[in-house]
Protein backbone atom coordinates (compact mmCIF):
# COMPACT_ATOMS: atom_id res chain seq x y z
CA UNK A 1 0.00 0.00 0.00
CA UNK A 2 1.56 3.33 -1.07
CA UNK A 3 1.65 5.75 1.87
CA UNK A 4 4.24 8.40 0.99
CA UNK A 5 4.31 11.60 -1.05
CA UNK A 6 5.03 11.47 -4.78
CA UNK A 7 7.20 14.42 -5.81
CA UNK A 8 9.15 14.56 -9.07
CA UNK A 9 8.87 10.80 -9.54
CA UNK A 10 10.23 9.99 -6.07
CA UNK A 11 8.30 8.50 -3.16
CA UNK A 12 9.21 10.51 -0.06
CA UNK A 13 8.31 11.10 3.55
CA UNK A 14 7.52 14.67 4.51
CA UNK A 15 10.50 16.66 5.85
CA UNK A 16 8.91 16.97 9.31
CA UNK A 17 8.21 13.22 9.41
CA UNK A 18 4.57 13.86 10.24
CA UNK A 19 2.05 11.12 9.42
CA UNK A 20 -1.70 10.83 9.77
CA UNK A 21 -4.08 7.91 10.22
CA UNK A 22 -6.51 6.75 7.54
CA UNK A 23 -9.62 5.22 9.12
CA UNK A 24 -11.95 2.47 7.96
CA UNK A 25 -15.41 4.08 8.25
CA UNK A 26 -17.05 0.67 8.59
CA UNK A 27 -15.30 0.09 11.90
CA UNK A 28 -13.67 3.37 12.89
CA UNK A 29 -10.32 1.56 13.15
CA UNK A 30 -7.02 2.63 11.62
CA UNK A 31 -6.06 1.17 8.23
CA UNK A 32 -2.58 2.68 8.00
CA UNK A 33 -0.76 5.98 8.32
CA UNK A 34 0.24 8.24 5.45
CA UNK A 35 3.07 10.78 5.20
CA UNK A 36 1.80 14.35 5.55
CA UNK A 37 3.33 17.07 3.42
CA UNK A 38 3.37 20.69 4.46
CA UNK A 39 3.99 23.91 2.54
CA UNK A 40 7.62 22.92 1.83
CA UNK A 41 6.51 19.70 0.12
CA UNK A 42 3.73 21.48 -1.76
CA UNK A 43 6.33 23.95 -3.06
CA UNK A 44 8.74 21.16 -3.99
CA UNK A 45 5.94 19.40 -5.86
CA UNK A 46 5.13 22.62 -7.76
CA UNK A 47 8.85 23.00 -8.64
CA UNK A 48 8.89 19.42 -9.97
CA UNK A 49 5.70 20.00 -11.93
CA UNK A 50 7.03 23.23 -13.43
CA UNK A 51 10.17 21.41 -14.60
CA UNK A 52 8.27 18.43 -16.05
CA UNK A 53 5.55 20.52 -17.65
CA UNK A 54 7.81 22.03 -20.31
CA UNK A 55 8.63 18.75 -21.99
CA UNK A 56 5.14 17.29 -21.43
CA UNK A 57 3.61 20.35 -23.14
CA UNK A 58 5.99 19.84 -26.07
CA UNK A 59 5.15 16.12 -26.39
CA UNK A 60 3.24 15.26 -29.56
CA UNK A 61 -0.52 14.98 -29.03
CA UNK A 62 -0.51 11.42 -30.35
CA UNK A 63 2.13 10.40 -27.81
CA UNK A 64 0.17 12.04 -24.98
CA UNK A 65 -2.94 10.25 -26.23
CA UNK A 66 -1.18 6.90 -26.12
CA UNK A 67 0.07 7.49 -22.58
CA UNK A 68 -3.47 8.41 -21.50
CA UNK A 69 -4.85 5.31 -23.15
CA UNK A 70 -2.25 3.24 -21.26
CA UNK A 71 -3.46 4.90 -18.03
CA UNK A 72 -7.01 3.77 -18.83
CA UNK A 73 -5.75 0.24 -19.47
CA UNK A 74 -3.71 0.20 -16.26
CA UNK A 75 -6.73 1.20 -14.19
CA UNK A 76 -8.94 -1.35 -15.91
CA UNK A 77 -6.33 -4.07 -15.39
CA UNK A 78 -6.25 -3.20 -11.67
CA UNK A 79 -9.99 -2.81 -11.20
CA UNK A 80 -10.32 -5.30 -8.34
CA UNK A 81 -7.36 -3.94 -6.43
CA UNK A 82 -8.48 -0.31 -6.81
CA UNK A 83 -12.09 -1.13 -5.95
CA UNK A 84 -10.99 -2.87 -2.75
CA UNK A 85 -8.89 0.13 -1.80
CA UNK A 86 -11.86 2.47 -2.37
CA UNK A 87 -14.15 0.32 -0.24
CA UNK A 88 -11.51 0.06 2.47
CA UNK A 89 -10.98 3.77 2.94
CA UNK A 90 -14.35 5.17 1.80
CA UNK A 91 -16.67 2.33 2.83
CA UNK A 92 -18.93 2.22 -0.25
CA UNK A 93 -20.14 -1.23 -1.37
CA UNK A 94 -17.67 -3.12 -3.52
CA UNK A 95 -20.07 -3.04 -6.46
CA UNK A 96 -20.11 0.78 -6.33
CA UNK A 97 -16.33 0.89 -5.98
CA UNK A 98 -15.98 -1.35 -9.03
CA UNK A 99 -18.31 1.01 -10.91
CA UNK A 100 -16.27 3.97 -9.74
CA UNK A 101 -13.04 2.46 -11.11
CA UNK A 102 -14.66 2.00 -14.54
CA UNK A 103 -16.04 5.56 -14.42
CA UNK A 104 -12.69 6.98 -13.26
CA UNK A 105 -10.69 5.07 -15.86
CA UNK A 106 -13.03 6.21 -18.62
CA UNK A 107 -11.82 9.81 -18.17
CA UNK A 108 -8.43 8.63 -19.43
CA UNK A 109 -9.91 6.86 -22.46
CA UNK A 110 -12.17 9.80 -23.35
CA UNK A 111 -9.36 12.31 -22.99
CA UNK A 112 -6.92 10.08 -24.89
CA UNK A 113 -9.34 10.29 -27.80
CA UNK A 114 -9.65 14.08 -27.42
CA UNK A 115 -5.95 14.85 -26.90
CA UNK A 116 -5.39 14.84 -30.67
CA UNK A 117 -8.39 17.14 -31.28
CA UNK A 118 -7.57 20.32 -29.39
CA UNK A 119 -8.44 22.70 -32.17
CA UNK A 120 -7.99 26.39 -32.72
CA UNK A 121 -9.25 28.49 -35.60
CA UNK A 122 -8.15 30.71 -38.45
CA UNK A 123 -10.23 33.66 -39.62
CA UNK A 124 -9.95 36.90 -41.51
CA UNK A 125 -10.29 40.18 -39.61
CA UNK A 126 -13.54 41.87 -40.73
CA UNK A 127 -11.58 44.80 -42.18
CA UNK A 128 -9.54 42.40 -44.35
CA UNK A 129 -6.28 43.71 -42.91
CA UNK A 130 -4.96 40.52 -41.31
CA UNK A 131 -5.63 36.93 -40.32
CA UNK A 132 -6.75 35.94 -36.81
CA UNK A 133 -5.13 32.73 -35.62
CA UNK A 134 -6.48 31.24 -32.38
CA UNK A 135 -4.83 28.34 -30.59
CA UNK A 136 -4.93 26.75 -27.14
CA UNK A 137 -1.67 26.25 -25.25
CA UNK A 138 -1.73 24.53 -21.85
CA UNK A 139 -2.35 26.64 -18.76
CA UNK A 140 0.82 25.50 -16.96
CA UNK A 141 0.88 23.84 -13.55
CA UNK A 142 -2.51 22.98 -12.05
CA UNK A 143 -3.25 22.53 -8.35
CA UNK A 144 -5.91 19.84 -7.97
CA UNK A 145 -7.86 19.52 -4.71
CA UNK A 146 -10.31 16.62 -4.45
CA UNK A 147 -12.98 15.27 -2.07
CA UNK A 148 -13.33 11.89 -0.38
CA UNK A 149 -16.66 10.78 -1.89
CA UNK A 150 -15.11 9.49 -5.13
CA UNK A 151 -11.49 8.68 -4.19
CA UNK A 152 -10.64 7.77 -7.80
CA UNK A 153 -13.07 9.51 -10.14
CA UNK A 154 -12.84 13.02 -8.73
CA UNK A 155 -9.10 12.88 -9.39
CA UNK A 156 -9.18 11.41 -12.88
CA UNK A 157 -11.99 13.76 -14.01
CA UNK A 158 -9.51 16.61 -13.52
CA UNK A 159 -6.24 14.85 -14.14
CA UNK A 160 -6.99 13.25 -17.51
CA UNK A 161 -8.03 16.48 -19.30
CA UNK A 162 -5.24 18.42 -17.58
CA UNK A 163 -2.69 15.96 -18.99
CA UNK A 164 -4.38 15.82 -22.41
CA UNK A 165 -4.02 19.59 -22.67
CA UNK A 166 -0.29 19.43 -21.79
CA UNK A 167 -0.26 20.50 -18.13
CA UNK A 168 1.51 19.05 -15.11
CA UNK A 169 -0.33 18.78 -11.80
CA UNK A 170 0.07 18.80 -8.05
CA UNK A 171 -2.71 16.89 -6.32
CA UNK A 172 -3.94 17.29 -2.75
CA UNK A 173 -5.98 14.14 -2.19
CA UNK A 174 -8.50 14.14 0.64
CA UNK A 175 -7.23 13.31 4.08
CA UNK A 176 -9.95 10.63 4.49
CA UNK A 177 -9.10 8.73 1.27
CA UNK A 178 -5.50 9.30 0.11
CA UNK A 179 -4.64 5.63 -0.54
CA UNK A 180 -6.52 5.28 -3.82
CA UNK A 181 -4.96 8.50 -5.13
CA UNK A 182 -1.46 7.29 -4.32
CA UNK A 183 -1.98 3.91 -5.95
CA UNK A 184 -3.43 5.53 -9.09
CA UNK A 185 -0.39 7.80 -9.28
CA UNK A 186 1.86 4.76 -9.12
CA UNK A 187 -0.09 3.05 -11.91
CA UNK A 188 0.19 6.18 -14.05
CA UNK A 189 3.98 6.17 -13.66
CA UNK A 190 4.03 2.54 -14.79
CA UNK A 191 1.80 3.47 -17.73
CA UNK A 192 4.37 6.01 -18.96
CA UNK A 193 3.44 9.37 -17.42
CA UNK A 194 6.84 11.08 -17.08
CA UNK A 195 8.23 11.78 -13.60
CA UNK A 196 7.09 15.11 -12.21
CA UNK A 197 4.02 15.46 -14.44
CA UNK A 198 1.81 14.07 -11.67
CA UNK A 199 2.71 14.87 -8.07
CA UNK A 200 0.63 13.83 -5.05
CA UNK A 201 1.05 15.51 -1.67
CA UNK A 202 -1.40 14.45 1.06
CA UNK A 203 -1.54 16.84 3.98
CA UNK A 204 -3.18 17.55 7.30
CA UNK A 205 -2.80 21.30 6.87
CA UNK A 206 -4.91 22.09 3.83
CA UNK A 207 -4.73 25.86 4.31
CA UNK A 208 -0.96 26.19 4.25
CA UNK A 209 -0.70 23.56 1.49
CA UNK A 210 -3.04 25.64 -0.64
CA UNK A 211 -1.29 28.92 0.20
CA UNK A 212 2.02 27.44 -0.95
CA UNK A 213 0.49 26.21 -4.20
CA UNK A 214 -1.26 29.51 -4.94
CA UNK A 215 1.91 31.48 -4.24
CA UNK A 216 4.08 29.32 -6.51
CA UNK A 217 4.73 31.27 -9.68
CA UNK A 218 4.36 28.24 -12.01
CA UNK A 219 0.85 27.47 -10.74
CA UNK A 220 -1.72 29.02 -13.07
CA UNK A 221 -4.90 27.15 -12.25
CA UNK A 222 -6.85 25.57 -9.41
CA UNK A 223 -9.34 22.77 -9.98
CA UNK A 224 -11.43 21.94 -6.93
CA UNK A 225 -14.31 19.65 -6.06
CA UNK A 226 -15.89 19.99 -2.63
CA UNK A 227 -18.28 22.08 -0.61
CA UNK A 228 -19.43 25.52 -1.68
CA UNK A 229 -18.11 26.98 1.57
CA UNK A 230 -14.55 25.74 0.96
CA UNK A 231 -14.88 26.65 -2.72
CA UNK A 232 -15.57 30.27 -1.76
CA UNK A 233 -12.45 30.35 0.43
CA UNK A 234 -10.27 28.89 -2.33
CA UNK A 235 -11.69 31.34 -4.86
CA UNK A 236 -10.83 34.26 -2.59
CA UNK A 237 -7.28 32.99 -2.16
CA UNK A 238 -6.85 32.15 -5.86
CA UNK A 239 -7.87 35.73 -6.63
CA UNK A 240 -4.58 36.92 -5.10
CA UNK A 241 -2.79 35.63 -8.19
CA UNK A 242 -5.76 35.78 -10.56
CA UNK A 243 -5.58 32.04 -11.10
CA UNK A 244 -7.90 30.29 -13.46
CA UNK A 245 -10.36 28.15 -11.50
CA UNK A 246 -12.75 25.29 -12.08
CA UNK A 247 -15.03 24.73 -9.11
CA UNK A 248 -17.36 21.76 -8.69
CA UNK A 249 -19.28 22.62 -5.54
CA UNK A 250 -22.34 21.56 -3.58
CA UNK A 251 -25.76 20.54 -4.84
CA UNK A 252 -29.38 20.46 -3.72
CA UNK A 253 -30.96 18.46 -6.53
CA UNK A 254 -34.72 18.41 -7.01
CA UNK A 255 -36.21 15.10 -8.19
CA UNK A 256 -39.58 15.84 -9.79
CA UNK A 257 -42.22 13.17 -10.40
CA UNK A 258 -45.36 14.05 -12.42
CA UNK A 259 -48.50 11.97 -12.03
CA UNK A 260 -48.20 10.51 -15.55
CA UNK A 261 -44.75 9.05 -14.84
CA UNK A 262 -44.11 5.32 -14.77
CA UNK A 263 -43.81 5.12 -10.98
CA UNK A 264 -41.72 1.96 -10.93
CA UNK A 265 -39.24 3.57 -13.30
CA UNK A 266 -39.31 6.74 -11.18
CA UNK A 267 -38.54 4.74 -8.03
CA UNK A 268 -35.73 2.93 -9.81
CA UNK A 269 -34.33 6.29 -10.97
CA UNK A 270 -34.83 7.75 -7.51
CA UNK A 271 -32.75 4.97 -6.01
CA UNK A 272 -29.92 5.72 -8.41
CA UNK A 273 -30.19 9.49 -7.98
CA UNK A 274 -30.36 9.21 -4.19
CA UNK A 275 -28.41 6.13 -3.22
CA UNK A 276 -25.53 5.57 -5.64
CA UNK A 277 -22.25 5.54 -3.74
CA UNK A 278 -24.10 5.39 -0.40
CA UNK A 279 -25.86 8.72 -1.10
CA UNK A 280 -22.61 10.67 -0.69
CA UNK A 281 -22.67 12.48 -4.03
CA UNK A 282 -23.08 16.16 -4.94
CA UNK A 283 -25.55 15.12 -7.63
CA UNK A 284 -27.73 13.22 -5.12
CA UNK A 285 -31.47 13.92 -5.21
CA UNK A 286 -32.02 16.08 -2.14
CA UNK A 287 -35.71 17.02 -2.49
CA UNK A 288 -38.42 14.81 -4.03
CA UNK A 289 -41.26 16.93 -5.45
CA UNK A 290 -44.05 14.46 -6.24
CA UNK A 291 -47.41 15.41 -7.76
CA UNK A 292 -50.02 15.05 -5.01
CA UNK A 293 -52.13 12.36 -6.72
CA UNK A 294 -49.22 9.89 -6.74
CA UNK A 295 -47.25 11.10 -3.71
CA UNK A 296 -48.53 8.41 -1.32
CA UNK A 297 -47.96 5.60 -3.82
CA UNK A 298 -44.50 6.87 -4.79
CA UNK A 299 -43.55 7.28 -1.12
CA UNK A 300 -44.70 3.76 -0.25
CA UNK A 301 -42.84 2.21 -3.20
CA UNK A 302 -39.67 4.18 -2.46
CA UNK A 303 -39.88 3.31 1.25
CA UNK A 304 -40.23 -0.39 0.40
CA UNK A 305 -37.07 -0.36 -1.72
CA UNK A 306 -35.12 1.84 0.71
CA UNK A 307 -36.19 -0.41 3.59
CA UNK A 308 -34.95 -3.50 1.75
CA UNK A 309 -31.42 -2.14 1.34
CA UNK A 310 -28.69 -4.08 3.07
CA UNK A 311 -26.64 -1.64 5.15
CA UNK A 312 -23.20 -2.72 6.27
CA UNK A 313 -19.52 -3.06 5.58
CA UNK A 314 -19.00 -2.51 1.85
CA UNK A 315 -17.02 -5.77 1.63
CA UNK A 316 -19.97 -7.88 2.83
CA UNK A 317 -21.87 -9.82 0.18
CA UNK A 318 -25.09 -8.09 -0.86
CA UNK A 319 -24.46 -4.78 0.94
CA UNK A 320 -26.01 -1.89 -1.00
CA UNK A 321 -25.42 0.97 1.44
CA UNK A 322 -22.12 1.44 3.23
CA UNK A 323 -21.13 3.62 6.16
CA UNK A 324 -21.03 7.40 6.08
CA UNK A 325 -17.54 8.88 6.13
CA UNK A 326 -17.39 9.86 9.82
CA UNK A 327 -19.31 10.57 13.04
CA UNK A 328 -19.80 14.23 12.10
CA UNK A 329 -21.63 13.19 8.92
CA UNK A 330 -24.04 11.06 10.97
CA UNK A 331 -24.68 13.95 13.35
CA UNK A 332 -25.44 16.37 10.53
CA UNK A 333 -27.79 13.93 8.70
CA UNK A 334 -29.62 13.09 11.91
CA UNK A 335 -30.05 16.70 12.90
CA UNK A 336 -31.72 17.48 9.52
CA UNK A 337 -34.03 14.46 9.92
CA UNK A 338 -34.98 15.43 13.49
CA UNK A 339 -35.80 19.00 12.44
CA UNK A 340 -37.97 17.77 9.54
CA UNK A 341 -39.85 15.35 11.80
CA UNK A 342 -40.21 18.11 14.40
CA UNK A 343 -41.88 20.24 11.71
CA UNK A 344 -44.46 17.54 10.86
CA UNK A 345 -42.75 15.05 8.50
CA UNK A 346 -43.15 11.33 9.17
CA UNK A 347 -40.53 8.66 8.57
CA UNK A 348 -42.03 6.13 6.16
CA UNK A 349 -38.91 4.07 6.77
CA UNK A 350 -35.69 4.58 8.75
CA UNK A 351 -35.16 7.89 10.51
CA UNK A 352 -32.15 7.27 12.76
CA UNK A 353 -28.51 6.18 12.92
CA UNK A 354 -27.83 2.47 13.31
CA UNK A 355 -26.62 1.30 16.69
CA UNK A 356 -23.45 -0.52 15.64
CA UNK A 357 -19.74 0.28 15.36
CA UNK A 358 -18.77 2.50 12.41
CA UNK A 359 -20.86 5.32 10.98
CA UNK A 360 -24.16 3.97 9.65
CA UNK A 361 -27.50 5.67 8.99
CA UNK A 362 -30.69 3.80 8.11
CA UNK A 363 -32.00 4.46 4.57
CA UNK A 364 -34.83 6.88 5.26
CA UNK A 365 -37.87 8.22 3.44
CA UNK A 366 -39.61 11.22 4.97
CA UNK A 367 -43.22 11.81 3.94
CA UNK A 368 -45.00 15.18 3.89
CA UNK A 369 -41.93 17.29 4.46
CA UNK A 370 -42.66 20.99 4.98
CA UNK A 371 -41.24 22.92 2.02
CA UNK A 372 -39.35 25.28 4.36
CA UNK A 373 -37.81 22.53 6.50
CA UNK A 374 -33.97 22.94 6.66
CA UNK A 375 -33.58 19.52 5.01
CA UNK A 376 -34.86 21.10 1.77
CA UNK A 377 -32.23 23.82 1.73
CA UNK A 378 -29.14 21.94 2.95
CA UNK A 379 -27.19 19.24 1.20
CA UNK A 380 -28.02 16.02 3.10
CA UNK A 381 -25.10 13.91 1.80
CA UNK A 382 -26.71 10.82 3.30
CA UNK A 383 -29.41 8.18 2.67
CA UNK A 384 -32.47 10.33 3.34
CA UNK A 385 -35.21 11.08 0.78
CA UNK A 386 -37.59 13.92 1.78
CA UNK A 387 -40.85 13.82 -0.19
CA UNK A 388 -42.74 17.09 -0.76
CA UNK A 389 -46.13 16.69 -2.51
CA UNK A 390 -47.10 19.40 -5.03
CA UNK A 391 -50.26 20.43 -6.87
CA UNK A 392 -49.17 23.54 -8.78
CA UNK A 393 -46.39 22.98 -11.33
CA UNK A 394 -45.42 26.66 -11.53
CA UNK A 395 -45.09 26.91 -7.74
CA UNK A 396 -43.11 23.65 -7.65
CA UNK A 397 -40.65 24.91 -10.30
CA UNK A 398 -40.20 28.12 -8.32
CA UNK A 399 -39.53 26.04 -5.19
CA UNK A 400 -37.12 23.74 -7.03
CA UNK A 401 -35.18 26.83 -8.17
CA UNK A 402 -35.39 28.55 -4.80
CA UNK A 403 -31.85 27.61 -3.82
CA UNK A 404 -28.39 29.05 -4.41
CA UNK A 405 -27.34 25.60 -5.66
CA UNK A 406 -27.86 24.42 -9.22
CA UNK A 407 -25.88 21.27 -9.92
CA UNK A 408 -28.22 18.43 -10.91
CA UNK A 409 -31.98 17.97 -11.25
CA UNK A 410 -34.19 15.04 -12.27
CA UNK A 411 -37.60 14.96 -13.97
CA UNK A 412 -39.90 11.96 -14.47
CA UNK A 413 -42.91 12.20 -16.80
CA UNK A 414 -44.40 10.20 -19.67
CA UNK A 415 -44.83 13.44 -21.63
CA UNK A 416 -41.45 14.13 -23.20
CA UNK A 417 -42.42 17.63 -24.35
CA UNK A 418 -43.43 18.57 -20.80
CA UNK A 419 -40.25 16.98 -19.49
CA UNK A 420 -38.13 19.10 -21.82
CA UNK A 421 -40.09 22.28 -21.03
CA UNK A 422 -39.64 21.77 -17.29
CA UNK A 423 -35.98 20.73 -17.69
CA UNK A 424 -35.20 23.96 -19.54
CA UNK A 425 -36.67 26.00 -16.70
CA UNK A 426 -34.64 24.30 -13.98
CA UNK A 427 -31.62 26.33 -12.91
CA UNK A 428 -29.32 23.31 -12.88
CA UNK A 429 -26.22 22.55 -14.90
CA UNK A 430 -27.38 18.96 -15.49
CA UNK A 431 -30.84 17.44 -15.80
CA UNK A 432 -31.71 13.74 -15.86
CA UNK A 433 -34.96 13.40 -17.82
CA UNK A 434 -36.45 9.99 -16.99
CA UNK A 435 -32.95 9.05 -15.80
CA UNK A 436 -31.47 8.87 -12.32
CA UNK A 437 -27.84 9.33 -13.41
CA UNK A 438 -26.26 12.22 -15.26
CA UNK A 439 -22.54 11.57 -14.82
CA UNK A 440 -20.69 10.70 -18.01
CA UNK A 441 -17.09 11.45 -19.04
CA UNK A 442 -18.41 12.49 -22.47
CA UNK A 443 -20.84 15.07 -21.01
CA UNK A 444 -20.11 18.49 -19.45
CA UNK A 445 -20.43 18.05 -15.67
CA UNK A 446 -20.94 21.21 -13.65
CA UNK A 447 -23.30 23.54 -11.91
CA UNK A 448 -25.07 26.86 -12.21
CA UNK A 449 -25.24 29.49 -9.45
CA UNK A 450 -23.16 28.60 -6.36
CA UNK A 451 -22.75 24.99 -7.49
CA UNK A 452 -19.67 25.91 -9.40
CA UNK A 453 -17.69 27.47 -12.20
CA UNK A 454 -16.61 25.74 -15.38
CA UNK A 455 -17.22 22.20 -16.60
CA UNK A 456 -15.49 18.84 -16.33
CA UNK A 457 -15.74 16.08 -18.91
CA UNK A 458 -16.62 16.36 -22.60
CA UNK A 459 -14.43 18.56 -24.80
CA UNK A 460 -15.36 21.59 -22.64
CA UNK A 461 -13.45 19.86 -19.85
CA UNK A 462 -10.19 19.91 -21.83
CA UNK A 463 -10.47 23.54 -22.92
CA UNK A 464 -10.80 24.53 -19.25
CA UNK A 465 -7.15 23.46 -18.91
CA UNK A 466 -5.96 25.63 -21.81
CA UNK A 467 -5.30 29.27 -22.46
CA UNK A 468 -6.59 30.99 -25.56
CA UNK A 469 -3.96 32.81 -27.55
CA UNK A 470 -4.75 34.87 -30.64
CA UNK A 471 -2.11 35.89 -33.16
CA UNK A 472 -2.92 38.75 -35.51
CA UNK A 473 -0.91 38.08 -38.61
CA UNK A 474 -0.49 39.41 -42.11
CA UNK A 475 0.99 37.41 -44.95
Which amino acids are annotated catalytic? 248, 282
Do strands 168-172 and 141-145 pair parallel, antiparallel, or not at all (unpaired)? parallel
Closest CA to 145 of 48, 212, 75: 212
Q: How buried is residue 249: exposed, middle or buried, by Cβ count under 10 Å (0-12/13-18/19+)?
A: buried
State which of residues 162, 171, 184, 282 lies at the interface with ligand SIN (CB under 6 A).
282
Closer CB to ligand SIN, 263 or 279, in the complex: 279
Residue 177 binds to ligand SIN (criterion: CB under 6 A) = no
Closest CA to 273 of 290, 292, 291, 286: 286
Residue 90 C-beta: closest distance to ligand SIN, Å: 12
Number of residues lying near ligand SIN (CB under 6 A): 9
Closer CB to ligand SIN, 150 or 360, in the complex: 150
Residue 223 binds to ligand SIN (criterion: CB under 6 A) = no
Residue 281 binds to ligand SIN (criterion: CB under 6 A) = yes
Closer CB to ligand SIN, 49 or 279, in the complex: 279
Closest CA to 105 of 72, 152, 67: 72
Residue 145 C-beta: closest distance to ligand SIN, Å: 13
Residue 228 binds to ligand SIN (criterion: CB under 6 A) = no
Closer CB to ligand SIN, 43 or 225, in the complex: 225
Q: What angle do CA 192, 196, 197 make, to 5 degrees?
A: 65
The whole-angstrom separation of Cα 223 and Cα 172 is: 11
Q: Enumerate residues 6+ apart whose C-beta is below 8 A from 54.
A: none
How many Cβ atoms are within 10 Å of 194's Cβ, its own excluded?
16
Calculate the CA dihedral of residues 346, 278, 253, 111 and round it to 10 degrees.
-170
Q: Enumerate residues 6+ apart whose C-beta is below 8 A from 248.
A: 224, 225, 226, 282, 445, 446, 447, 451, 452, 456
Q: Which helix (H) or strand (E) holds 74?
A: helix 61-77
Residue 225 binds to ligand SIN (criterion: CB under 6 A) = yes
Residue 281 C-beta: closest distance to ligand SIN, Å: 4
Residue 58 C-beta: closest distance to ligand SIN, Å: 32
State which of residues 439, 450, 459, 466 lies at the interface with ligand SIN (CB under 6 A).
439
Closer CB to ligand SIN, 149 or 364, in the complex: 149
Binding mask 145-164 for ligand SIN (x = CB under 6 A): ----xx--x-----------
Residue 199 binds to ligand SIN (criterion: CB under 6 A) = no
Which of the stretches 213-221, 229-237, 278-286, 349-357 binds ligand SIN when contact is defined by CB under 6 A? 278-286
Closer CB to ligand SIN, 3 or 97, in the complex: 97
Quick one: the chain helix, strand, coil %, rounded to 5?
A: 40, 20, 35
Q: Enumerate residues 6+ apart whose C-beta is below 8 A from 421.
A: none
Residue 451 binds to ligand SIN (criterion: CB under 6 A) = no
Report 93-152 residues binding ligand SIN (CB under 6 A): 149-150
Enumerate binding residues for ligand SIN (CB under 6 A).
Answer: 149-150, 153, 225, 248, 281-283, 439
Amino acid sequence: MRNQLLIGGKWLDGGAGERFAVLDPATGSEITTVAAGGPAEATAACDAAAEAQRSWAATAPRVKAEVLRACWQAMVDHTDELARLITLEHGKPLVDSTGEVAYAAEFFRWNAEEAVRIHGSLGMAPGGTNRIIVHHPPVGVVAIVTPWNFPAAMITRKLAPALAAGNAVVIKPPRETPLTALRIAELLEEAGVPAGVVNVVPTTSSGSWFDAAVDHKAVRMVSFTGSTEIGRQLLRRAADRVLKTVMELGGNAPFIVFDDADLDAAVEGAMVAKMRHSAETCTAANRFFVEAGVAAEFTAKLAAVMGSMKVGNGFEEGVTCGPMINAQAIESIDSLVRQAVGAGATAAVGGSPLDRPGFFYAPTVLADVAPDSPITSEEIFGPVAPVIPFTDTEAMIAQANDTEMGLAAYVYTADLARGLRVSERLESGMVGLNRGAVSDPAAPFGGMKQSGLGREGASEGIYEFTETQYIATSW
